[in-house]
Amino acid sequence: MANTQLIEPDLGFIKKVGALGGEDLKKCYQCATCSVACPISPDQSPFPRKEMIAASWGLKDKLIGNPDIWLCHNCGDCSTRCPREAKPGDVLAAIRSYAITEYARPQAVARAVNDPKKLPILAAVPVILFLIVGTLTGLLDFTPGGDRIVHSNFFSTWLVDMHMVPAALWTIAIFALGLKRFLSDMHQNALLEGKTAKKSIEPAGFIQALLRVIPTILKHNKFSECTENKEREIAHLLVLFGFIGLFIVTSIIFIVIYVFGLHGPWSQLNPVKWLANIAGVALIVGSSLMIKNRRAKTDQISRYQDWYLIYLAFGLGVTGMATELTRLADWAFLSYALYFIHLVLIFFLIAYLPFSKLAHLVYRTVAMAYAEYTGRNFT
């Protein structure tokens, strides 16, 4: 006799998925066209058909701890071919958005980051912090003077790192706590579904799986397999490598300042400056293409969370490059003002990262590694 399982639908979860862009969920009649049409769905336990029925039943715990919602790259193939226009791609995107908020703590910050009405408050936080701490410490000087523009004379390097380093540590701690729960939930679901016999995740095996999926992520192989939204590949690659390049530049500058005691501004002939400029241009071009593609894709739902991330990336690139160009043009007031705005956006990126859509970079990477670890052969 088959085991009986009591299903307890979470009606609040169903409503939230609908509010986040999955309002066509109930149109699904389980024809499996989506799973057949998806070019990247694994042969074993393919998605998104099973996720659609689980979402219809409000099985929140089964879904947010499901790595398959992250294996989906929302290319749109399934939504285009769905005979009922249930838009499985948008439903899975809504579930991912819910999962990010669910795993991030504190929940109040998660709700604020995803609420457009709270954007002015979130922006005021770094502005007020910069002004108060900078004034009290004397590290913020509104009359820097000098024969040339030196941004650290206006906003000290020490003042920058007094805010950005704690913000980075805060982000790491939130991700660590969220990923601990996420991995535990994925493994528990895998055990219940008979997808693994291992009682716990073996760290060495998981790290090996993670190393195997990184090339797939860097090359964006899964994006290239999609057909409906293929143009997203170039835009995502540009933004990804733009962020990676700027992270490398920031790390080098941090070491050079605090280990060797060398401060900027640096020569335009410096290789590090080349990398910074190339990465900045890549970020601007990539985010611009994302804006263009989303506006053209009228059949795909774009929510505040999507635009928040895209415009943040665009703003970071534009203010960073504009700060440099106005410095070279010797437009002091404009250059210092743009630098202040750029720092506010950097704080946004770092401090609110675990609560925003950008967190998908971390959760998708971990989910892909777990799929590889359990033998899903997703790479």
Helices (H), the chain: 11-17, 33-37, 49-56, 60-64, 68-71, 77-81, 88-103, 107-113, 119-137, 151-154, 157-192, 203-219, 221-225, 232-260, 271-296, 304-328, 332-351, 360-373
Q: pLDDT tens-digit profile of 205-238? A: 999 999 999 998 998 877 777 777 777 889 999 9
What tokens were used for 16? 């939230």
pLDDT number for residue 1: 43
Query: What are the structural domain ranges in the chain?
Result: 11-103, 107-373
Q: What global pTM score does this model have?
A: 0.91
How far separated are the first and last CA of the chain, in Å rounded? 38
What tokens were used for 71? 């294996």
Q: What residue type is 278 in one-letter code?
A: I
Lowest-pLDDT choice from 4-18, 143-157, 298-312, 359-373: 4-18
Instruction: Look at the domain 11-103 and name its fold.
Output: Fumarate Reductase Iron-sulfur Protein; Chain B, domain 2 (1.10.1060)
pLDDT number for residue 224: 77
For the beta carbon of residue 269, count every other beta carbon within 10 angstroms: 7
Q: pLDDT tens-digit profile of 120-133? A: 999 999 999 999 99
Q: pLDDT tens-digit profile of 137-176? A: 999 999 988 888 999 999 999 999 999 999 999 999 999 9
What is the C-alpha to C-alpha distance for residues 375 and 206, in angstroms, rounded to an integer?
Answer: 11
For the beta carbon of residue 260, count every other beta carbon within 10 angstroms: 8
**Cβ 145 vs Cβ 128: under 8 Å:** no
